[in-house]
Protein backbone atom coordinates (compact mmCIF):
# COMPACT_ATOMS: atom_id res chain seq x y z
CA UNK A 1 0.00 0.00 0.00
CA UNK A 2 1.53 3.34 -0.99
CA UNK A 3 1.79 6.28 1.34
CA UNK A 4 -0.81 8.08 -0.72
CA UNK A 5 -3.21 5.14 -0.60
CA UNK A 6 -2.95 5.25 3.20
CA UNK A 7 -3.67 9.00 3.20
CA UNK A 8 -6.75 8.44 1.05
CA UNK A 9 -8.01 5.52 3.13
CA UNK A 10 -7.61 7.54 6.31
CA UNK A 11 -9.54 10.48 4.89
CA UNK A 12 -12.31 8.26 3.56
CA UNK A 13 -12.71 6.21 6.72
CA UNK A 14 -12.86 9.11 9.16
CA UNK A 15 -14.88 11.33 6.85
CA UNK A 16 -17.33 8.44 6.85
CA UNK A 17 -17.47 8.75 10.63
CA UNK A 18 -18.49 12.41 10.38
CA UNK A 19 -15.12 14.18 10.59
CA UNK A 20 -14.59 17.43 8.68
CA UNK A 21 -11.43 17.26 6.58
CA UNK A 22 -9.16 20.21 7.31
CA UNK A 23 -5.84 21.15 5.74
CA UNK A 24 -2.53 20.76 7.50
CA UNK A 25 -1.59 23.98 9.24
CA UNK A 26 1.72 25.75 8.63
CA UNK A 27 4.91 24.60 10.33
CA UNK A 28 4.90 28.06 11.90
CA UNK A 29 2.35 27.84 14.71
CA UNK A 30 -0.21 30.61 14.69
CA UNK A 31 -0.80 32.64 17.86
CA UNK A 32 1.22 30.32 20.08
CA UNK A 33 4.47 31.81 21.33
CA UNK A 34 5.00 28.76 23.57
CA UNK A 35 6.26 26.65 20.63
CA UNK A 36 8.69 27.30 17.77
CA UNK A 37 7.45 24.78 15.25
CA UNK A 38 4.36 22.66 14.66
CA UNK A 39 5.14 19.29 16.19
CA UNK A 40 1.72 17.62 16.19
CA UNK A 41 -1.68 17.55 14.56
CA UNK A 42 -3.31 19.01 17.64
CA UNK A 43 -1.22 22.19 17.46
CA UNK A 44 -3.71 24.09 15.28
CA UNK A 45 -6.52 22.99 17.61
CA UNK A 46 -4.94 23.87 20.95
CA UNK A 47 -7.42 26.63 21.64
CA UNK A 48 -10.33 24.44 20.56
CA UNK A 49 -9.30 21.78 23.05
CA UNK A 50 -8.96 24.32 25.85
CA UNK A 51 -12.20 26.06 24.82
CA UNK A 52 -10.46 29.42 24.50
CA UNK A 53 -11.99 29.36 21.02
CA UNK A 54 -15.30 27.63 20.42
CA UNK A 55 -14.57 24.62 18.17
CA UNK A 56 -15.74 25.25 14.63
CA UNK A 57 -16.57 21.58 14.20
CA UNK A 58 -17.04 18.80 16.78
CA UNK A 59 -14.92 16.32 14.77
CA UNK A 60 -12.08 16.98 12.36
CA UNK A 61 -9.33 15.10 10.59
CA UNK A 62 -6.03 16.31 9.24
CA UNK A 63 -2.82 15.05 7.73
CA UNK A 64 -0.41 17.39 9.42
CA UNK A 65 3.13 18.36 8.50
CA UNK A 66 5.24 18.06 11.64
CA UNK A 67 8.84 18.77 12.57
CA UNK A 68 10.38 17.33 15.72
CA UNK A 69 14.07 17.58 16.44
CA UNK A 70 14.19 16.12 19.94
CA UNK A 71 15.26 12.74 18.50
CA UNK A 72 17.52 14.13 15.78
CA UNK A 73 20.37 11.82 16.75
CA UNK A 74 18.12 8.78 16.15
CA UNK A 75 17.34 9.72 12.54
CA UNK A 76 18.59 6.97 10.26
CA UNK A 77 17.21 4.16 12.44
CA UNK A 78 13.99 2.27 11.70
CA UNK A 79 11.45 4.89 12.72
CA UNK A 80 12.78 8.36 13.49
CA UNK A 81 12.34 11.37 11.24
CA UNK A 82 12.58 15.10 11.95
CA UNK A 83 9.86 15.77 9.35
CA UNK A 84 6.85 13.51 9.09
CA UNK A 85 3.15 13.56 8.37
CA UNK A 86 0.72 12.82 11.13
CA UNK A 87 -2.68 11.29 10.52
CA UNK A 88 -5.10 12.62 13.09
CA UNK A 89 -8.79 12.40 13.90
CA UNK A 90 -9.96 14.80 16.57
CA UNK A 91 -12.96 15.18 18.83
CA UNK A 92 -13.80 18.39 20.66
CA UNK A 93 -16.34 17.49 23.31
CA UNK A 94 -17.88 14.92 20.95
CA UNK A 95 -16.89 11.22 21.04
CA UNK A 96 -14.39 10.00 23.59
CA UNK A 97 -12.66 6.73 24.48
CA UNK A 98 -15.20 4.20 23.25
CA UNK A 99 -15.48 5.36 19.64
CA UNK A 100 -11.88 6.44 19.20
CA UNK A 101 -10.55 3.07 20.35
CA UNK A 102 -13.09 1.14 18.29
CA UNK A 103 -12.40 3.19 15.14
CA UNK A 104 -8.63 3.13 15.59
CA UNK A 105 -8.62 -0.64 15.87
CA UNK A 106 -11.06 -1.09 13.00
CA UNK A 107 -8.95 1.16 10.77
CA UNK A 108 -5.74 -0.69 11.58
CA UNK A 109 -7.27 -4.14 11.13
CA UNK A 110 -9.81 -3.71 8.35
CA UNK A 111 -8.47 -0.82 6.31
CA UNK A 112 -4.74 -1.36 6.74
CA UNK A 113 -5.05 -5.12 6.91
CA UNK A 114 -2.95 -5.72 10.02
CA UNK A 115 -3.44 -9.16 11.48
CA UNK A 116 -4.77 -9.19 15.05
CA UNK A 117 -1.96 -11.53 16.14
CA UNK A 118 0.56 -8.70 15.58
CA UNK A 119 -1.36 -6.13 17.62
CA UNK A 120 -0.89 -5.21 21.26
CA UNK A 121 -1.91 -2.07 23.10
CA UNK A 122 -0.78 0.10 25.97
CA UNK A 123 -2.68 2.12 28.57
CA UNK A 124 -1.70 4.68 31.18
CA UNK A 125 -0.71 2.99 34.44
CA UNK A 126 -1.63 5.91 36.67
CA UNK A 127 0.49 7.84 39.15
CA UNK A 128 0.11 10.30 42.00
CA UNK A 129 -1.25 13.01 39.65
CA UNK A 130 -3.55 11.09 37.31
CA UNK A 131 -5.55 7.87 37.82
CA UNK A 132 -4.97 4.64 35.93
CA UNK A 133 -6.92 4.44 32.65
CA UNK A 134 -9.30 1.62 33.62
CA UNK A 135 -11.85 2.72 31.01
CA UNK A 136 -9.55 2.15 28.07
CA UNK A 137 -8.55 -1.24 29.44
CA UNK A 138 -12.21 -2.29 29.61
CA UNK A 139 -12.90 -1.04 26.09
CA UNK A 140 -9.92 -2.94 24.64
CA UNK A 141 -11.05 -6.06 26.49
CA UNK A 142 -14.57 -5.69 25.11
CA UNK A 143 -13.06 -5.62 21.61
CA UNK A 144 -11.22 -8.87 22.28
CA UNK A 145 -7.73 -7.44 22.73
CA UNK A 146 -5.88 -9.43 25.34
CA UNK A 147 -2.33 -8.11 25.22
CA UNK A 148 -2.78 -4.88 27.18
CA UNK A 149 0.36 -3.45 28.77
CA UNK A 150 0.54 -0.47 31.07
CA UNK A 151 3.17 2.23 31.15
CA UNK A 152 3.82 5.41 33.09
CA UNK A 153 3.77 9.10 32.32
CA UNK A 154 6.80 9.07 30.06
CA UNK A 155 5.19 6.70 27.54
CA UNK A 156 1.46 7.03 28.06
CA UNK A 157 0.73 10.64 28.86
CA UNK A 158 0.92 13.19 26.05
CA UNK A 159 1.31 16.92 25.86
CA UNK A 160 0.98 19.72 26.07
CA UNK A 161 2.92 21.09 23.14
CA UNK A 162 4.99 23.97 24.48
CA UNK A 163 4.68 25.05 28.08
CA UNK A 164 0.93 24.87 28.57
CA UNK A 165 -2.23 23.47 27.06
CA UNK A 166 -4.44 20.43 26.71
CA UNK A 167 -2.96 17.05 27.58
CA UNK A 168 -3.97 13.68 28.91
CA UNK A 169 -3.41 9.96 29.19
CA UNK A 170 -2.88 7.96 26.02
CA UNK A 171 -3.63 4.52 24.77
CA UNK A 172 -1.53 3.23 21.90
CA UNK A 173 -1.68 0.54 19.26
CA UNK A 174 1.54 -1.33 18.59
CA UNK A 175 2.20 -3.59 15.64
CA UNK A 176 4.97 -6.03 16.60
CA UNK A 177 7.57 -3.72 18.13
CA UNK A 178 6.44 -0.34 16.83
CA UNK A 179 3.80 2.09 18.09
CA UNK A 180 1.71 3.24 15.16
CA UNK A 181 -1.41 4.78 16.67
CA UNK A 182 -1.58 7.12 19.62
CA UNK A 183 -4.91 8.19 21.11
CA UNK A 184 -4.58 11.10 23.49
CA UNK A 185 -7.54 11.68 25.77
CA UNK A 186 -7.36 15.38 26.47
CA UNK A 187 -8.91 15.74 29.89
CA UNK A 188 -6.55 18.27 31.47
CA UNK A 189 -5.08 21.68 30.94
CA UNK A 190 -1.48 21.89 32.04
CA UNK A 191 -0.51 25.28 33.41
CA UNK A 192 3.04 26.56 32.92
CA UNK A 193 3.76 25.57 36.55
CA UNK A 194 2.88 21.94 35.73
CA UNK A 195 -0.42 21.91 37.60
CA UNK A 196 -3.17 19.94 35.85
CA UNK A 197 -6.66 21.40 35.77
CA UNK A 198 -9.64 19.43 34.45
CA UNK A 199 -10.80 20.59 31.01
CA UNK A 200 -14.36 21.78 30.61
CA UNK A 201 -15.00 19.40 27.72
CA UNK A 202 -12.98 16.32 26.96
CA UNK A 203 -11.40 15.65 23.61
CA UNK A 204 -9.54 13.11 21.53
CA UNK A 205 -6.28 13.81 19.70
CA UNK A 206 -4.98 11.02 17.52
CA UNK A 207 -1.43 10.88 16.28
CA UNK A 208 -0.45 8.24 13.76
CA UNK A 209 2.83 8.77 11.96
CA UNK A 210 2.15 8.14 8.29
CA UNK A 211 5.64 6.91 7.39
CA UNK A 212 5.74 4.51 10.34
CA UNK A 213 2.34 3.12 9.45
CA UNK A 214 3.43 2.64 5.84
CA UNK A 215 6.68 0.92 6.84
CA UNK A 216 4.94 -1.41 9.23
CA UNK A 217 2.04 -2.51 7.07
CA UNK A 218 4.30 -3.08 4.09
CA UNK A 219 6.77 -5.06 6.21
CA UNK A 220 9.62 -2.73 5.30
CA UNK A 221 12.83 -2.53 7.27
CA UNK A 222 12.51 1.17 7.98
CA UNK A 223 10.61 4.35 7.11
CA UNK A 224 13.12 5.26 4.39
CA UNK A 225 11.93 2.31 2.32
CA UNK A 226 8.40 3.72 2.05
CA UNK A 227 7.66 4.74 -1.51
CA UNK A 228 7.90 8.54 -1.26
CA UNK A 229 10.96 8.68 0.98
CA UNK A 230 12.71 6.00 -1.04
CA UNK A 231 12.63 8.18 -4.15
CA UNK A 232 14.51 10.87 -2.23
CA UNK A 233 17.01 8.36 -0.86
CA UNK A 234 17.69 7.22 -4.44
CA UNK A 235 18.34 10.82 -5.51
CA UNK A 236 20.90 11.19 -2.72
CA UNK A 237 22.48 7.86 -3.65
CA UNK A 238 22.96 9.01 -7.23
CA UNK A 239 24.91 12.06 -6.03
CA UNK A 240 27.16 10.20 -3.63
CA UNK A 241 30.35 8.35 -4.36
CA UNK A 242 30.32 6.24 -1.24
CA UNK A 243 27.57 3.97 -0.02
CA UNK A 244 26.60 4.85 3.50
CA UNK A 245 23.00 4.05 4.15
CA UNK A 246 22.81 6.02 7.38
CA UNK A 247 24.17 9.24 5.87
CA UNK A 248 21.82 8.90 2.88
CA UNK A 249 18.87 8.63 5.23
CA UNK A 250 19.95 11.59 7.35
CA UNK A 251 20.40 13.80 4.28
CA UNK A 252 17.00 12.67 2.97
CA UNK A 253 15.24 13.43 6.21
CA UNK A 254 16.93 16.72 7.01
CA UNK A 255 16.51 18.19 3.55
CA UNK A 256 12.87 17.14 3.48
CA UNK A 257 12.34 18.95 6.78
CA UNK A 258 14.26 21.98 5.50
CA UNK A 259 12.30 22.10 2.22
CA UNK A 260 8.95 22.10 4.00
CA UNK A 261 10.15 24.67 6.54
CA UNK A 262 11.31 26.97 3.75
CA UNK A 263 8.02 26.49 1.93
CA UNK A 264 6.19 27.66 5.04
CA UNK A 265 8.30 30.82 5.24
CA UNK A 266 11.02 29.89 7.73
CA UNK A 267 14.47 31.23 6.82
CA UNK A 268 17.86 30.16 8.19
CA UNK A 269 19.13 32.33 11.01
CA UNK A 270 20.87 32.04 14.33
CA UNK A 271 17.66 32.35 16.29
CA UNK A 272 14.68 30.20 17.21
CA UNK A 273 13.04 28.31 14.34
CA UNK A 274 15.50 29.83 11.86
CA UNK A 275 18.26 28.20 13.88
CA UNK A 276 16.52 24.83 13.73
CA UNK A 277 16.42 25.12 9.95
CA UNK A 278 20.06 26.17 9.75
CA UNK A 279 21.08 23.25 11.92
CA UNK A 280 19.22 20.76 9.72
CA UNK A 281 20.81 22.10 6.54
CA UNK A 282 24.27 22.16 8.10
CA UNK A 283 23.89 18.61 9.31
CA UNK A 284 22.77 17.48 5.84
CA UNK A 285 25.77 19.20 4.24
CA UNK A 286 28.14 17.64 6.78
CA UNK A 287 26.81 14.16 5.98
CA UNK A 288 27.04 14.99 2.27
CA UNK A 289 30.78 15.63 2.71
CA UNK A 290 31.10 12.39 4.60
CA UNK A 291 29.87 10.42 1.59
CA UNK A 292 31.87 12.47 -0.89
CA UNK A 293 29.03 14.27 -2.59
CA UNK A 294 30.82 16.60 -5.01
CA UNK A 295 27.69 18.25 -6.37
CA UNK A 296 27.83 21.86 -5.12
CA UNK A 297 24.07 22.17 -5.37
CA UNK A 298 23.30 19.02 -3.40
CA UNK A 299 20.58 20.69 -1.34
CA UNK A 300 18.66 22.10 -4.28
CA UNK A 301 19.06 18.92 -6.36
CA UNK A 302 17.55 16.86 -3.55
CA UNK A 303 14.92 19.51 -2.87
CA UNK A 304 13.72 19.26 -6.48
CA UNK A 305 12.84 15.62 -5.86
CA UNK A 306 11.20 16.44 -2.54
CA UNK A 307 9.07 19.13 -4.19
CA UNK A 308 8.08 16.69 -6.94
N1 LIG B 1 -0.64 14.53 19.52
C2 LIG B 1 -0.49 13.15 19.62
C3 LIG B 1 0.78 12.62 19.13
O4 LIG B 1 1.66 13.35 18.75
O5 LIG B 1 0.95 11.45 19.08
What confidence score (pLDDT) does residue 179 get? 97
Mean pLDDT by 10 residues, the chain (308 residues): 98 98 97 92 96 97 97 96 98 98 98 98 97 98 98 96 94 97 97 95 97 98 98 97 92 98 98 97 97 96 98
Cα of 301 vs its chain's centroid, Å: 27
- Looking at the CA of residue 184, tell me the nearest atom of ligand 1: 2
Q: How far is the CA of 135 from the centre of ligand 1 (A)?
A: 20
Q: How far is the CA of 159 from the centre of ligand 1 (A)?
A: 8
Q: What is the pTM of this model?
A: 0.96
Contacts 24+ apart (CB under 8 A), 128-131: 129/153, 129/196, 130/157, 130/169, 130/188, 130/196
| Distance, CA of 65 to CA of 67 (rounded, Å) | 7
Q: How far is the CA of 191 from the centre of ligand 1 (A)?
A: 19
Parallel, antiparallel, or unpaired: how do β-strands 20-21 and 59-67 relate? parallel
What confidence score (pLDDT) does residue 229 get? 98
Nearest CA to ligand 1 atom 2: 207
- Looking at the CA of residue 209, tell me the nearest atom of ligand 1: 5
Question: 291 CB less than 6 Å from ligand 1?
Answer: no
Nearest CA to ligand 1 atom 5: 207
Please enumerate in sequence order all residues whose Cβ is within 8 A of that of 66, keeping only pairs 6 or more positions apart, or say none.
27, 38, 39, 40, 41, 83, 84, 85, 86
| Distance, CA of 177 to CA of 212 (rounded, Å) | 11
Parallel, antiparallel, or unpaired: how do β-strands 157-158 and 178-190 relate? unpaired
What confidence score (pLDDT) does residue 30 get? 94
What confidence score (pLDDT) does residue 244 get? 85
- Looking at the CA of residue 161, tell me the nearest atom of ligand 1: 1
Question: 288 CB less than 6 Å from ligand 1?
Answer: no
Cis peptide before 193 (omega within 30 of 0): no
Please enumerate in sequence order all residues whose Cβ is within 8 A of that of 307, keeping only pairs 6 or more positions apart, or say none.
259
What does each C-alpha distance from 105 to 44, 174, 192, 196 come to in angstroms? 25, 11, 34, 29
Ligand 1, residues 38, 41, 169: which to mutate, most atoms within 8 A of Cβ?
41
What confidence score (pLDDT) does residue 279 get? 98
As beta bridge partners, residue 62 has: 88
What confidence score (pLDDT) does residue 215 get? 98
Q: How far is the CA of 291 from the centre of ligand 1 (A)?
A: 34
- Looking at the CA of residue 66, tell me the nearest atom of ligand 1: 4
| Distance, CA of 97 to CA of 77 (rounded, Å) | 32
Q: How far is the CA of 296 from the centre of ligand 1 (A)?
A: 38
| Distance, CA of 278 to CA of 43 (rounded, Å) | 23
| Distance, CA of 155 to CA of 239 (rounded, Å) | 39
Question: 40 CB less than 6 Å from ligand 1?
Answer: yes
11 phi-psi bin (left φ>0, alpha ψ -120 to 50, beta other): alpha
What confidence score (pLDDT) does residue 39 get? 96
Question: 210 CB less than 6 Å from ligand 1?
Answer: no
Residue 13 parent element (H or E): helix 3-16
Burial label for 47, CB within 10 Å (0-12, 13-18, 19+), is middle
Amino acid sequence: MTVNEIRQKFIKYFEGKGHVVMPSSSLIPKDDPSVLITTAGMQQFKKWFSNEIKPKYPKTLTIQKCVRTNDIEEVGDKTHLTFFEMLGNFSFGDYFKEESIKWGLEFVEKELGVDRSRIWVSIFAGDDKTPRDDDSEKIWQSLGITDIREFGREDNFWGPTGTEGACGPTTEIYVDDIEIWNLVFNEYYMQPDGILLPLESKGVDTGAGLERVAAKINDLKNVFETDELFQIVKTVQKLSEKTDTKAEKIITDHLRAATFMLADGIRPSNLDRGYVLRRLVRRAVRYGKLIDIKEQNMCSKVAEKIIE
